[in-house]
Amino acid sequence: MSAPLAGLSVRRRLLRNFSLLFVGTIVVLSLFYLWASWNNRDAEADDELEEIASIVVAKAERGPDGRVRLHYGPKRQELLADVKGLQVFVYDPVNKEVLIEQPVGMRKGLPLSPEIAWKFAFLVVDRDSEPERPRLQLLLATLDSPAGPLQVAVGRDEPHDTLQPRWVAYTVMREVLPVIGPILLLAIGIALYTLTKALAPVAKAAEEANRITVDTMGKRLDTAVPAEIRPLVAAFNRALDRLDAGFAEQRRFTANAAHELRTPLALLRARLDGMGDADAAESFRPDLQRMTRLIEQLLAVSRLDSHMPMAKGDVDLVDIAGDVVARMAPLAVAEDKQVSLTAPDHPVRLYGNADALSAAVRNLVENALRFTPAGSTVEVVVADGPHLAVHDAGPGIPAEDRPHLFERFWRGRNRQGGAGLGLAIVAEVIALHGGRIAVDKSPMGGALFDVTFGAPPAAAE
Amino acid sequence: MRLLLVEDEAELARLVRVNLTREGFAVDVAPTLEEARSATATARYDVILLDLSMPDGDGLDLLASWRRGGDTTPVIAVTARDAIDERVQGLNVGADDYLGKPYAQSELVARIRALLRRPNGALGMRLKAGNLEYDASSSAVSVGGDSLPLPRRELTLLELLMRRVGQVVTRQTIENGLYGFDDDVDSNAMEASVSRLRKRLVSAGATVNIHTVRGVGYMLTADKPAALAR
């Protein structure tokens, strides 16, 4: 099939081709049938004349006076009236009486004479007097009737000089369709049934493929499909093998990188903490902290990219936010800033990973602390929803920067410090928990990061 | 106070040991799980610092075998690996706390002290912040060497804060320490206690500051100008 048809359903293609076959067969067979009938048309016309003649005399009856009456009722008359250019002549040889002559005077110009004892004969008579009309086809016969032998002449305009559409339609409907139709319909039915049965595993495989995500690694499509489809399914499964291997490799790399990068940092940190010269140690600390933060963020990005499976469970957002605020408070106080938490007395439940969420909240608070001026407070607000907001009293975020804020490595103007990864990580972690993050202006004057999670699933997964 | 440090990085082990020794702990180092196993078989430790990724196996397995054998020594699991799942796993197997590398030495010391406090043994430790000193064995408080008598409730509060200098002590922890688990605590009562303690420390000339972390808890830090603004 050519390219434009590539997307067309096999079922529709089959149906279309079968329909073409159906129509083609009917046309060919009809043409053949018509051709055969055409060749045979004289014989058929003769049969028809014979039938008309027998109808005319079928109910003939000789009365007590010895005269013959034909008794053909209105129904028969109507039938005979339908035949184009019909002419009927009936003669009783016993009484030497003309019983019908229709139209009157038809004998003139015809080889008819009451005296002849008619044989069964078919004639074709040219009508010299009326050259416009078709030739006359004529039956001359002596027929046995209930009233004894009657001489009958039946004539009609010779038919079939041209193909009559009605006759063609009649022939097709009557002679071709009843034979060919059922066979073709049956063939289409069988083909569609077979196809539907054969394609069912394909639909099932598609459904299975739809359920495959990075969290269902190792899952493969069922290869119990028709032989024609099996190579495709097998190839798909091999592609999944390669993807899984790639993911596994990246996860291994991330895990190893985490260990290898953090170990020297731990060493450096321990060395710094143990240094006698406190001033010198303090001068290194911001650099170490920045390095640590960057490495943690790169590892987080790598973890997100390799779709590391996250152990999710029932977590309390109040608990997580409280923990983050407690951890950040010493840093805030060191810079003469404050962090505070406003939360309901009851837990705000969420289905998720506590560490990932904690890292996200921590990033938001770190960010807010960086921009809020000394002497001001960063407010973390947790509410039912689940909902979390982080307010600061910093310069806020210009509207034109907001669309880019959550892009990786994006750093606005006048930004010091960060690598531009923190908020990207936050957005991704929140998205993984079915939440949304929005930026707005805080009533406190600075930026407001507003996180809304989906309603907590009652009993997820 | 005897600690076991299970750590395969020799230099890191040395540095941590030096730091902890300075804080008054006796530290044994085990560079492999095998040595950690034999060390715990021959000596009793007050706290074990257990690195989870060791050259000869997974620290969690050793921890699980200790717990199966009925050893309840407090364990702080330490790892440079990702916390995302190991933390849950480690705490399930029986770690009492969890610390990710790199960690600050002050954080490590604070966590060790928090664990030591759980079983109410006599700790015999002197806690210092600025010119403020607290002797845990005698429950004596002094500012610049001069004794500062405190009512029982404020003394307990100060001890809680002094055990985690520079760290936030949560309201929950203070409630549990001050009022016991059964009392229905009025949050204003806690605020009032903190406020009275602050006044006493200021009038005694202590160079420490108690910060309120609203909604979470309190934090005592040293060497800040008197927080009259707070």
Which tens digits make up the pLDDT trace of B86-142?
Answer: 555 556 667 888 888 888 888 888 888 878 765 444 445 677 888 898 887 778 899
Q: By the CB < 8 Å criterion, does A262 face chain B? A: yes
d(CA A192, CA A182): 15
The confidence score (pLDDT) of residue B55 equals 87
Taking an 8 Å cut-off on Cβ atoms, the answer to whether A333 and B211 are in contact is yes
The confidence score (pLDDT) of residue A451 equals 94
Cβ-based contacts of A354 with chain B (< 8 Å) = 88
The confidence score (pLDDT) of residue B121 equals 42
CB-CB contact of A139 with A152 (8 Å): yes
Q: By the CB < 8 Å criterion, does A362 face chain B? A: no
Tell me how many residue pairs between chain A and chain B have CB atoms under 8 A apart. 116
**By C-alpha distance, which of A456, A370, A448, A453 is closest to A416?**
A370
Cβ-based contacts of B100 with chain A (< 8 Å) = 262
AA letter at A83: V
**By C-alpha distance, which of A424, A22, A33 is closest to A188?**
A22
Residues 6+ apart with CB under 8 A from A324: A358, A361, A362, A365, A380
Distance from CA of B119 to the nearest CA of A (A): 24
Cβ-based contacts of B88 with chain A (< 8 Å) = 311, 313, 354
Tell me the C-alpha to C-alpha distance, in Å, between residue A290 and each of A81, A218, A326, A416: 111, 39, 20, 11
How many Å separate Cα A18 from the centre of its chain? Answer: 21
Place of tokens 């406090």: B117
Runs of H (alpha helix) within A274-391: 278-305, 317-334, 354-371
At A392-402, the pLDDT tens digits run 998 888 888 88
Measured between CA atoms, the residue of chain A closest to residue B106 is: A273
Taking an 8 Å cut-off on Cβ atoms, the answer to whether B215 and A353 are in contact is no
AA letter at A125: V
Per-residue pLDDT at A235 exceeds 50: yes
Cβ-based contacts of B19 with chain A (< 8 Å) = 270, 273-274
The confidence score (pLDDT) of residue A108 equals 59
At A26-68, the pLDDT tens digits run 888 878 877 877 777 777 777 778 888 888 888 888 888 888 8
Listed range (A255-259, A320-324, B142-146) with the worst mean pLDDT: A255-259
Taking an 8 Å cut-off on Cβ atoms, the answer to whether B167 and A267 are in contact is no
The confidence score (pLDDT) of residue B182 equals 54
Q: By the CB < 8 Å criterion, does A330 face chain B? A: yes
At A116-168, the pLDDT tens digits run 555 666 666 666 666 566 677 778 888 888 888 888 888 877 665 555 666 66
Taking an 8 Å cut-off on Cβ atoms, the answer to whether B167 and A292 are in contact is no
Residues 6+ apart with CB under 8 A from A129: A109
d(CA B183, CA B180): 6
Per-residue pLDDT at A416 exceeds 70: no
The confidence score (pLDDT) of residue A112 equals 58
**pTM, 2 dp:** 0.61
d(CA B177, CA B160): 8
Residues 6+ apart with CB under 8 A from B137: B122, B123, B124, B125
Encoded tokens for A25? 């067969």
Biggest distance spanned by C-alpha atoms of chain A: 158
The confidence score (pLDDT) of residue A162 equals 55
Per-residue pLDDT at B143 exceeds 60: yes
Taking an 8 Å cut-off on Cβ atoms, the answer to whether A356 and B84 are in contact is yes
CB-CB contact of A88 with A56 (8 Å): yes
Beta carbons within 10 angstroms of residue B208's beta carbon: 24
Taking an 8 Å cut-off on Cβ atoms, the answer to whether B85 and A310 are in contact is yes
Biggest distance spanned by C-alpha atoms of chain B: 57
Q: By the CB < 8 Å criterion, does A433 face chain B? A: no
Taking an 8 Å cut-off on Cβ atoms, the answer to whether B81 and A355 are in contact is no
Taking an 8 Å cut-off on Cβ atoms, the answer to whether B84 and A311 are in contact is yes
Per-residue pLDDT at B227 exceeds 50: no
Beta carbons within 10 angstroms of residue A192's beta carbon: 14
Q: By the CB < 8 Å criterion, does A108 face chain B? A: no
Q: How many residues does chain B have?
A: 230
Taking an 8 Å cut-off on Cβ atoms, the answer to whether A340 and B100 are in contact is no
Residues 6+ apart with CB under 8 A from B163: B110, B113, B114, B117, B127, B169
d(CA B71, CA B39): 13
